[in-house]
Structures are given as structure tokens and as C-alpha cells.
Amino acid sequence: MGKIHVEIDADVGGKESNFEFSWEGDDAGVQRILSLVRAQSDAEGCAPMVLAKSVLRHLPTMGWMSRDKGGQYQRALILYLVLNMNVSDKGPLHQFAANEDTDVVLTVGNRQVTVEIDGAPTSPLH
């Protein structure tokens, strides 16, 4: 069972905020996250990564929703983004997340999101 710890440092529109959460799961849990977000984004007529980036950009003004369905979906969208990030030459995180502990730092600005996985930067998201 792998664990992902996510820290989010956001500075959007002059509003700064910090959030963090942890998720733990096996291969089936990883696949549930990916499937849930794909299904919901299809229902909303939007690409999953577009929804995930939107949630990140709106966190400073929206804040975390409660732990009910809204909050769970918020976290699932952020995990979807993280799980699809390429980690050096290992490939996307979702391929091995269930077997490793991973620390992720997302830095959200007005025009881009930078991602650092286990201390190594990845390509910025625009």
C-alpha cells in the first residue's frame, strides 16, 4: 500500500493559502480515483485535467470543502492530476503509486502550477 502526501502552496489573485492532505491506497484504490474522475468529467463535458487545474486555481478563494462528497471529489481531482504526472524516467505516478510513499508539492500561481515530486521538479502545468 502506497501513501501520497500532497502540500499545496497557492498564491492566486493576491490571495495566499496553504493546504495539505494524505491519501493511502493500493492498485485498486489508484484505479478507483482515476475512474471516478474520468467518469465525472465525462458527465460534466470537461477533460479531467482541466477540472483538476480549475480546483487548484480556485482553492484560495473556495477553500477545502468539508469531508463529504464535495471535499472527497476535490481531493480526488488533485490526486488525479498528481497520479498522471511523469516521475523522471519511471513514467506516470499511477503506475507505481500503490507501492511507494510519495511527497508532492504543488505551487499554484496565477498562470501555472509547478509540481515537485519527492523533491524533483516536473514540467509546469499551464
The identity of residue 51, as a single letter, is L
> What's the pLDDT score for residue 122?
60
β-bridge partners, 125: 113
The identity of residue 114, as a single letter, is T
Class of residue 44 by CB neighbours under 10 A (exposed 0-12, middle 13-18, buried 19+): exposed
The identity of residue 55, as a single letter, is V
> Residues in the chain with pLDDT < 70?
65-70, 119-126
Cell numbers representing residue 70 in the block: 464535495
* Kind and range of the H or E run holding 18: strand 15-25
15-25, strands of its sheet edge to edge: 15-25, 2-12, 101-108, 113-117, 120-121
Task: Please give the mean pLDDT across all residues of the chain.
Answer: 85
> What's the pLDDT score for residue 125?
59
> What's the pLDDT score for residue 54?
85
Domain ranges of the chain: 2-121
Cell numbers representing residue 97 in the block: 503509486
> What's the pLDDT score for residue 115?
86
β-bridge partners, 19: 8
> What's the pLDDT score for residue 82?
93
DSSP codes, 21-61: EEEEE-HHHHHHHHHHHHHHHHHHTS-HHHHHHHHHHHHHH
> What's the pLDDT score for residue 74?
87
> What's the pLDDT score for residue 62?
77
Taking only the tens place, the pLDDT of each residue in 64-88 is 766 665 678 888 999 999 999 888 7
* Spatial distance between the Cα atoms of 101 and 118, rounded to a whole number of angstroms: 9
> What's the pLDDT score for residue 69?
59
